[in-house]
Every structure is written in structure tokens, then in C-alpha cells.
Amino acid sequence: MAIHSHERAREFAHAELVHKSEHFDGLPEQPLTESARLHRAGLANWWISADYGGAGVALEDGVDIVSELSYGDAGFAFGSFLPILGTVMLQLYGEDEIARPVLERLVHGGGVLGVLGSEEAAGSELGRTATTFRDTGDHLVITGSKYFSTNSDAADLLLVLARSEDDDFAVIAVPRSTPGIEIVKRWDVIGMRGSATYQVDLHDCVVPQANRLRGNGLRLLEIGLNASRILIAASAIGIVRRIRDLSMEYAAQKQLKGAALTDNAVFAAKLGQLEMLIDVMRNQCRAAAAEFDQFMDAPDAAAALYRVGTMRSALAAKLYCGQAGWQAATAGSEMFGGVGYTHDHPIGKLVRDLRYVGIVEGGDDVMRDLIYARFVIPPTKRR
């Protein structure tokens, strides 16, 4: 099943994505028609468990699915796989009467989820979240403003991080149709323009008590971010593979000192370096994903992941792939000379798309700090 999904993802990318650079770089309207085709190809929400009718493809094999889709367009791939952040939290910590209909609908009808965590003032410090909820007995009332939320306008359900007056953090499932939800604007992002990220305000949104997911909201986000960060890292693999192939196409027809650029030792060394980076990036992503799969396959996955929270391997995958990918993108753009700094060649878009790996869901400095605070400082001295 996994190999078949990988091959179908490659076929889909070449048929639907590769030759549409201008379309995906033009901030296309959402939802994309290609998203419906992805669902018909059986590649949307591929990770959802068979318990909900899904394909249940392991995250380790999903690394290659994301690499293939990102080869075609990383923005499209990002919007397609990011719901994993929310579905992991729903599956493990949501009440079944809330989670099951949503997960089954994503399997049978396609679609996406939105996760509302980031805020203007708090940034990556989610412990400073200013969005609040109050408990009225039977219901929760949520108020606040969320800065960056991908897929939120097209989603049927939003998962909102909020805090109470006594600093009780919660993730709360809020149907998109709930009165009081306002899409303030869609961000005009520099890269990854095939996805759609919004600023969203919530004005006294009322939902039932049962819509609160079990556990501390900050911990739940840590757990979901493990999966999405690994796939964000995997998207860099697809982008770098595309840069490699474009470089080879260019070098085959580019003359330097009377010979094809492919015969040049400096060029050969650069492409050899790119190939090494691709292998190491893929190995790191698949190793991190395999570790996550082991947790998900445990008899009590929810408890096992709740004890662990943030996985070191997921942080390392995102940090390494962001840095290695940027190194590859820089080398690739230089190969094209001046044309590599224009909108006339796909390499410029790939460079802009790649940069997001080191920014989204925690920038490189945030990743370094998390690794230091969680895994370098001795356990007795951790805050």
C-alpha cells in the first residue's frame, strides 16, 4: 500500500503540479481544484487510521509521499498534509462523538482542518497565548485573535488553543460555522503560495464542553507538531530533488569553455553534494517518522506520546532539513547565474518555497532552544 501510494503521488505530481508553477505561485483561490483530484486519487489525508475508514499509511512512508508532492509544488503539499497536526490531536485526545465524524468525513469527502495556535504577540511562545476561554457550565466561550492559520477558511473544523483565567490551557474543537468566527485576511506570503494562511478572530464563540480535547493544550500541540514538523522537513527533500533535476537539465545545454556544464568538475562536485544532502535529509525524516509510528502503534498511544511530548528526532529533522535545504537552494540558484534571481525560471520560486522550512512551526532558533532546553540541559535542571 505504501509503495503504491508513493508511486501514485509521483504520478499525481507530474500530471497535476509540476507544470503549473505560475498557477501555484499566484496565490490561487482556495480550495484548489487539484485538492479534489488529490482526494479522488486516494492521496488526501492518507495517514488517517483504518478505524475511521482511512488508508492508515505510516508516517515513515508518508515522508516519500510528501517529497513527491513537494517536488510538484511545496505549497500545495503543505496545505494537503498540514491537517495531520489536528487529526493526531483529535484521534488521540478527542471524545469519539466529536472526533469520529470529522475523521470519517476527511476520509470520505476530502477536506482539511485548521489549527489556530500562533498569535501576533506570543509568536512561537505558545505559553503566552492571549486567546481565552471561559466555562459557563455546559459550554465554553472562546475569544481571541490568531495570526497564522493555514486552511482555516476552507476547513469544517478549527482546533483552537486558548487559556482560562487560571492558566488552564486547552485545545477546543470549534466548527467553522460557529457564530463569531471572522476571517480577517489571507496573508500574501512570499513563498508556499499554493497554500492559504489566514488571520482569524474569534468573538465569543460558544461550543459544548465535550469539544475540549483531553489534556493540557500546550502538550497536545507538542504532540501534533511532531508529525507536521517531520513532514515539513520532508517537503524540503522534494524541493531539493526538483532543484537537482532542473540543474541537470540546464547543465546539459549550457556550454562552459567549449564543453557541456555537466562535464565540469565544479558542477559535478556541487551536484554530488546535493545528492548527499538529499539522502541524509530523507534518512533523518524517515527515522523520525518511524519513531513517531512506534508511538502511534503502542497499546496506549495517547498516554505514551503525552509522556514524551516533543520528540528530539522531529526537532532535529526540521532543523537539519531547513538548513541543508537552504544550502542546496542557494547552491542551485547560483548555478543559473542572473536568471536564478528572476521570476522567469522556476528556481526562484523553489528558493522562496524552501525558505519556509526554517520558519514555519518554529524557526531555527526556536528549534535550537527546544533541543537545548529539553535534551541538553540535565533533567534535574530543566525548567
Per-residue pLDDT at 251:
87
Per-residue pLDDT at 156:
95
Confidence class for position 383, pLDDT limits 50, 70, 90: low
The pLDDT of 272-283, averaged and rounded, is 97
The CATH number of the structural domain formed by 217-381 is 1.20.140.10
Residue 306 CA to residue 29 CA, distance in Å, equals: 37
Going by C-alpha positions, the residue among 104, 106, 111 that lies closest to residue 32 is 111
The pLDDT of 137-142, averaged and rounded, is 96
Q: Same CATH topology for 2-109 and 114-211?
A: no
The pLDDT of 67-79, averaged and rounded, is 98
DSSP character string of 90-146: HHHHS-HHHHHHHHHHHHHH----EEE--BTTTBT-GGG---EEEE-SSEEEEEEEE
Per-residue model confidence as pLDDT tens digits over 285-313: 999 999 999 999 999 999 999 999 999 99
Residue 187 CA to residue 196 CA, distance in Å, equals: 8
Contact 373, 382 (CB under 8 A): yes
Going by C-alpha positions, the residue among 126, 164, 120 that lies closest to residue 145 is 120
The pLDDT of 134-140, averaged and rounded, is 95
Contact 178, 140 (CB under 8 A): no
Per-residue pLDDT at 212:
98
Per-residue model confidence as pLDDT tens digits over 103-132: 999 999 999 999 999 999 888 788 899 999
- Neighbour count for residue 125 (Cβ, 10 Å): 10
Per-residue model confidence as pLDDT tens digits over 32-71: 999 999 999 999 999 999 999 999 999 999 999 999 999 9
Confidence class for position 15, pLDDT limits 50, 70, 90: very high
Residue 129 CA to residue 145 CA, distance in Å, equals: 10
Per-residue pLDDT at 340:
82
Q: Which element (helix H / strand E) includes 251?
A: helix 217-253
**Domains of the chain, residue spans:** 2-109, 114-211, 217-381
Residue 44 CA to residue 110 CA, distance in Å, equals: 6
Residue 31 CA to residue 154 CA, distance in Å, equals: 6
Per-residue model confidence as pLDDT tens digits over 182-236: 999 999 999 999 999 999 999 999 999 999 999 999 999 999 999 999 999 999 9
Can you state the percent helix, strand and coil of the chain, rounding each to 5? 60, 15, 25
pTM, two decimal places? 0.96
The pLDDT of 264-292, averaged and rounded, is 95
Residue 312 CA to residue 189 CA, distance in Å, equals: 29
Indicate if the pLDDT at residue 254 is higher than 90.
Answer: no
Confidence class for position 1, pLDDT limits 50, 70, 90: very low
Residue 311 CA to residue 305 CA, distance in Å, equals: 9
Per-residue pLDDT at 335:
87
- CATH number for 2-109 (one of 1.10.10.10, 3.40.50.720, 1.10.540.10, 3.30.565.10): it is 1.10.540.10
Give me the sign of the Cα torsion angle 32, 84, 368, 167.
positive
What does the block give as the cell for 359?
A: 520558519
Indicate if the pLDDT at residue 369 is higher than 90.
Answer: yes
Contact 181, 139 (CB under 8 A): no
The CATH number of the structural domain formed by 114-211 is 2.40.110.10
Among all chains, which residue has been given the C-alpha cell 484521534? 91
Residue 54 CA to residue 284 CA, distance in Å, equals: 26
